[in-house]
Structure 1
Amino acid sequence: MAGPLVEAGTSFSPWVGLIFVFNLIVGTGALTMPKAFGQAGWIFSVAIIIVLALVSYVTATFVIEAMAAANGIIKYRRKDKKRELDETSSTSSSSSDPYIPDTENDEKERLLTGNTINYSSVRAAKKHADYFEITELVDMGQMASMFFNKVGLVLFYICLIVYLYGDLAIYAVAVPKSLRDITCTYDADSQNLSDNDPCWTGVTITRMNAYRIYLAIFSVSLGVFVYFNVQKTKYLQIFTTIMRWLAFLTMIFSSVIYISRGKSSAKPAATGTFESIPNFFGVCVYAFMCHHSLPSLITPVKPKKRITAFLFGDYVLILLFYLFLSITAIFTFDSSDIKDIYTLNFFKSKVLPVIPLSYFVALFPVFTLSTNFPIIGITLRNNLMALFLHENRLYHWTIKRLLFPTLVLVPPIAVAFATTNVTLLVGITGSYAGAAIQYLIPVFLVYYARKKTERTMGKRWVLHQHMSLFRHKIWLILIIIWAIFCLVFVTVDHVLEGIH
C-alpha cells in the first residue's frame, strides 16, 4: 500500500488528513478481508480485528511521537549551530526567540488574578512547544538513520523492502486475476472452475495461461515506469478515491438490499477452523497498515493540536467499515463461495444484477491497484539503493537506471507467475514484514527517540505535546510481547500445515 504523495509546501486541515489516512489504509486488505473473515468465523474475526485495530493505533501514536522528537532534535541542533556562528550568544538567543510582553494587558491580568506573570516560564514553554511541533517532513528512513545504529538501520530497511516486495506481488496477482475472471467466458460449472479449465469455449488457452498472459501485459505496461521517476498527482489521487468509495459503497448497499429482501441463504459459522486464524491475523495487520506513510500525511496537517484524537476517530471509522463490509459479505455469500478478491463476487451476480455496475466493481482493482504499482515500485527501488549504495560514491548509470529497477520487478512478478492466491500473499506479507513495520519498528523508534532527545536536549525536553498517550514503558513491553507471540504463532501454524 503506497500512501498519497503530498506535494511539498502543501497543507490541509485535520479532517482532510483523516480522509487521506482512511484512503491509505482501506486498500487491497479490504478486498481480501471478507474471505478470511468468513473462514475464521465471525466471533473469532470480530474479536481479533478489534484487538489488532487497537494495537495498530497505539503504535501509530508512537510513530507520531518519534516524528515530533526528530523535529525537536533537528531544530535544537540548528539553533545550536546558529549560536556558534553568531558573535554573541545573548544576541542570538534574543533574536531567535523574541518575546515582547504586552505590559498593558499583563497589568490587567495581574490586577484581575493577583498573580505575577513569569515571562521566562512562558517563553520557555513556548520554545519547548515550537521545537516539537511537526513542521518538517522526516520520513521513516530518516528517523531510522537518526535513532538506530547500523545494525538497526539495516534491519529496518530489510523489513521495509520485504514488505514492499510483498505489496508488489499482491498487486501483480490481483490485477491480472481480475482481468482473467472478467474476460474468460467458459463457465460449464462456474462454482468449480479450475486453473486447467479453458478460458474461452473452443480455445485451448487455459485459465492459468490466460492469467499469465495478462500478467505479462501488466508487467510490461506498468513495470516500465519503475525505470523512471513518476509521481502520483493530486488528480490521480482524487480519481482513485472516488473509484474506491463508489466500488465499496456499491458492494455494501447491494449486499444489504439482497439480504433485506430475504434472497440470501448464507449461514456463516460463528467459529471457523483454528488453522484459518493465523491467515486472518496477517490479513488484518496488512489491512491496518499506514505507519510507513504517516510522516507524509501527518506533517502537512494544520493544526496538529488534537491529531491523535483525529487518528483514533479514523481507526474507529475504518474498523466499523471493515466489520460492515465483512459481515454483509458472509451473510450474502456462503463462506466457501467468497473469492479472495471480493469484488469478483459481484461480477454477473444476482446480488448486483445491473451489468454496468457489476463490471465497474469487478474492474475496480484493475484501475486503483494499477495506479499504485509504479509508486510502490519506485519507493522500493529507492529503499534498495539506500541500503546497498553509498551516498557519497559515484556509480555507473546502468546500476541505478537498469539494475535496481530490474531487481524491483523480477521477484514479485516471479511470485505472481507461481501463484494466484492473493489471500495467502496478503497473510504472509502482513504476518511477517507487516507485523515488524506495524509493531516492532514503531516501538524501537519511540524508545530510542526518547533516549536521543534526553541525551541531545536534556531530560526536561523528553515530555512534549505530541507524546503518545501510551507513554509508559509497559506499553512498549506489551507490544513487543504481542508481536513475538503473533510471529511465533503464525510460524508454528505454517510449519504444522507444511508437515500435514
Structure 2
Amino acid sequence: MAGGQLQEQGFQYSPLTGLIYIFNLIVGTGALTLPAAFHDAGWLLSTVIIILLAFMSFLTATFVIESMAAANALLHWKRSKTLKRTDRRPSTASREVQILTAASRDISSPMHRGANKSEEDVNTTTADPVNNIDGDEDELEQPLIPVRTSSSGYSDTEESSERIPLNPVSYYEITDVTEMGRMATLFFNKIGKNLFYICIAIYLYGDLAIYGAAVSKSVRDVACTYRPPSNSSTTASNISETEKCWDWASQSRMDVYRIVLAIFVCTIGQFVFCNVTKTKYLQIITTIMRWLAFIIMVVLACNNIIKNKTDLPTPPTANIDGLPNLFGVCVYSFMCHHSLPSLITPISQKKRLYPLILGDYVIIMSFYFLLAFTGIFAFRELNDLYTLNFQPSKSDNWFESIIHYFLSLFPVFTLSTNFPIIAITLSNNLRSLFLTEGRIYSYWTRTVLFPLLALIPPTAVAMVTNSLEFLVGITGSYAGAGIQYVVPAALVYYARQEAKEALGVGVKNHHKSPFSSVLWVLFVLVWAATCVIFVTWNHFQN
C-alpha cells in the first residue's frame, strides 16, 4: 500500500509492529488455563490438537483478511462509481462528504441483503460494538471524505488523507478498517447479521464470566490462609470449596469467593455505565506486566524441574476425556479474528502478510508449548488458573514473596483493566441487536438497562461456578468456534460472490487467501460442526 494515513487509524506502523500487536492480542487469558487442560488431555494428544487448532486458526484468519480486502474493494468501487456520476467536481468539502456518505450507505448487494431491506438495516450502529473488543473507538459514523487525485493512482482531498483507488488493480488495497460487524452488515442479510451479533454477545458474556471468576479466585486464594491438616500441598488446587477460609472465621472458601466477586463487579462494573476506553499507557503497562509474569512463570517452572529432576511427575500421554476442554481452551487461546481488522489495516506494507502471520502463529504455538510442558513437568497438581501454582508460602524470603504475590495477583491487575471495556463492547452489541436505529429511547433504556444486561448474567454464572477450565472450555467450544470458524467462512464465501458480481473476474484480489478453494470453506464448516457435536456429546456423557 502506498504511503499516507488511514482514515480510521490516523497512523501506520511496520509489519513487525503489527505482528507484535497480534502476538499480544492472542497470548492472553487463555494461555493461563492452557497448562491444566494440556495435562488433563495428555501431553501427546494435546500436542497434536494444539498444532491442528493453530493451523485452523491461521486458515480462518486468512479468510478474515481476504474478506477485509473484498469489503474495501466494494467500498472503493462504489465511491469511484459515485464520483464518476457527478457532472461536476464538488466545490465544497460538505458536498464531498454527502457524495461518499451516500455511496457507503448503498454498498450492499440486493442479492444477499434483500430488496425490501430498510435503510436502518444497512447503516451500522453509532459505535460498532465489535470494534471495541480491544478498547478502540469506533469511527464508522464519521463521514467518508473523498480525496484529490495523486500520481500513485489514488485520490485524496486536501482536508483528508483517505485514499480512494482510481486504478481497478488497487481496489483491494486494505485502507478502511472494516470490522467484523461492518462486514456482517455488508455481506449478510438481516438474519445473518443478527446471528453474528448473538454469537459475539455470547462470546463476550463468556469473557466477562471468565474475567470475574479469575479475578475473584485469585484474590480469594491469596487471602485464604487456612489449610486442612490432611492437605500438604502448597497450592489450593485440591482444597474443597466448603472448607473455611480462615481459622478464626466461619466463611467457606466459596463464600469468600462470592463476596470478592460481588465487590469486584460493584466497583469495576460501574465504569460500564461510563464511556471509558483503554488508554495507550494502560496498554503498555498491561503488556509489560503480562510478559514479565509469563517469563517469571517459565523460569520458576524450569527451576523447579532442575531441583526435582530425580522425582519429576509423569503426566499422562493421552486422555480422551480431557479433549473437549482442551478444544475450548485452544480455540479461546488462539482467538484474534474479531480484532484483526483494527490491527491489520494500519500495517504499512502488506505484500508478505500471510507468511508473516504464519510465522507469528508458529512463535505463539512454540510459546504455548514452552508454558505447558514446563508446567506439567514442574507441578504434580495444576490449578485451572496457572498463576495460582505460584502462591506465596511461609518459607519464602522477601524476594520470593514479592514474586509469588505478583504472580498470584497478576490476573487481578490485568483483567480488571479489560473488564469494563469488554462489558461496554457487549452493551453496544446488545443495543445494536435489540434497538431500532432512528427511534428515540428513554435515558434509562440507553444508559442503564443495557449495561445491567451486560453485567448481571455473567456475574450470575461466575457466582455458580469458579471453574475457569470449564468456563473457558464452554466459551471457546461454542461461541468461540462460531467467531473463529463459522463467521470467517461465511464472510469469505459471500465476500467472494459480492466482489465478483461488482468488479468481475478481471480484477484480482492480491490479498486472496492461500486456501482459495470453496472446499476449504466447506471443510471449516464441517470441522466446526464436528467439534461442537463431539464436545456436546462428551459433556452429556459425563
Do both proteins adopt the same fold according to a TM-score greater than 0.5, normalized to the shorter chain? yes
- 1:87 Cα offset (Å): 4.2
Equivalent residue, structure 1, for 2:327: 281
Could you tell me how far apart the structure 1 residues matched to 2:17 and 2:298 are? 24
Residues 17-56 of structure 1: matches in 2 within 5 Å? Answer: 17-56=18-57
Q: 1:146 is matched with which residue?
A: 186
**Cα deviation code 1:155-178 (max 9, x no counterpart):** 111111100000000001000000
If asked which structure has higher relative contact order (CA below 8 Å, sep 6+), I would say 1
Show the counterpart of 2:449: 403
Q: Give the alignment partner of residue 339 of structure 1, picking from 356, 360, 383.
A: 383
Deviation at 1:225, TM superposition (A): 1.0
8 Å contact from structure 2 (residues 68, 178) kept in 1: yes
**Hey, what's the Cα distance between the residues in 1 that align with 2:303 and 2:152?**
64
Structure 2 counterparts to residues 67-466 of structure 1, below 5 A: 67-87=68-88, 127-188=167-228, 189=231, 191=233, 192-263=238-309, 265-334=311-380, 337-348=381-392, 354-461=400-507, 463-466=508-511
Secondary structure, aligned partner of 1:460: coil
- CA–CA distance in 2 between the matches of 1:362 and 1:262? 22
Task: Using the TM superposition, give the Cα deviation of residue 378 of structure 1 relative to its aligned residue in structure 2, in angstroms.
Answer: 0.7
Count of residue pairs brought into register by the alignment: 460
Instruction: State how far apart, in whole Å, the 2-side matches of 1:259 and 1:323 are.
Output: 16
Give the secondary-structure state (helix, strand or coil) at the position aligned to 2:472. helix
Mapped to 2, the partners of 1:265 and 1:174 lie a distance apart of 31
On the 8 A contact 1:128/1:464 being kept in 2, the answer is no
Counterparts in 2 of 1:411 and 1:423: CA distance versus 1, 3 Å = same
- Look up the equivalent residue of 2:35 and give its one-letter code: P
Q: 2-side partners of 1:432 and 1:213: how far apart?
A: 29
Q: What does residue 158 of structure 2 align with?
A: none
Matches of 1:241 and 1:425 in 2, distance apart? 24
Which whole-Å CA distance do the structure 1 matches of 2:541 and 2:39 have between them?
A: 22
What is the Cα deviation at residue 206 of structure 1? 1.2
Q: 1:248-291 CA distances to partner (integer Å, 9 max, x unpaired)? A: 00000111122123357333334343211111111100100000
Q: Which runs of 5+ in 1 are unaligned?
A: 1-5, 89-94, 102-124
Once the two structures are superposed, what CA deviation does each residue of 1:46-93 show, in whole Å capped at 9, x if it has no partner? Answer: 0000000000000001000101111110011011111111349xxxxx
Per-residue deviation, residues 283-332 of structure 1 (Å, max 9, x unmatched): 10010000001111111111222222221111111100001100000000
Per the alignment, in what secondary structure is the counterpart of residue 10 of structure 1? coil
Separation (CA, whole Å) in 2 of partners of 1:142 and 1:243 = 33
Q: Say whether the 8 Å CA contact 2:80–2:166 is kept in structure 1.
A: no
What amino acid does structure 2 have at the position aligned with 1:232?
K
From 474, 481, 489, the equivalent of 2:534 is 489
- The structural deviation recorded for 1:478 is 1.2
CA distance in 2, matches of 1:27, 1:99: 43
SS in 1 for 2:241: coil
Which residue number corresponds to residue 59 of structure 1? 60
Bigger CA drift: 271-280 or 431-440?
A: 271-280
**In the alignment, is the contact (CA less than 8 A) between 1:97 and 1:127 conserved in 2?**
no
| Cα separation, partners in 2 of 1:127 and 1:97, compared to 1, 3 Å | farther
Q: 1:357 to 1:129 in 2, by over 3 A?
A: farther
Q: For residue 171 of structure 2, give the secondary structure of its aligned residue in structure 1.
A: helix
1-structure distance, mates of 2:467, 2:535: 18
Q: Which has the higher helix share?
A: 1
Separation (CA, whole Å) in 1 of partners of 2:353 and 2:152 = 30
- CA 1:185 to 1:452, structure 2 compared with 1: closer, same or farther past 3 Å? same
* Whole-angstrom CA distance in 1 between matches of 2:85 and 2:214: 56
Say if 1:283 and 1:430, in contact at 8 Å, map to a contact too: yes
**Cα distance change, pair 360–208 in 1 and its aligned pair in 2 (3 A):** same
Residues 171 and 406 (structure 1 numbering): CA distance in 2 closer, same or farther, change over 3 Å? same
Task: Find the aligned partners of 2:528 and 2:427 in 1 and give their Cα distance.
Answer: 28
Which is further off, 51-60 or 198-207?
198-207
- Alignment correspondent of 1:112: none
Q: CA RMSD in A?
A: 2.1
**Contact 1:165/1:412, CA 8 A, preserved across alignment:** yes
Q: Percent identity?
A: 51
Q: Deviation of residue 128 (structure 1)?
A: 3.3
Q: Which amino acid aligns with 1:172?
A: G
Question: Which deviates the most, 307-316 or 414-423?
Answer: 307-316
Change in CA separation of 1:401 and 1:99 when aligned onto 2, cut-off 3 Å = closer
Scaled by the length of structure 2, the TM-score of the pair is 0.82
CA shift in 2, pair 1:241/1:7, >3 Å: farther
Q: 1:391: how far off?
A: 1.5
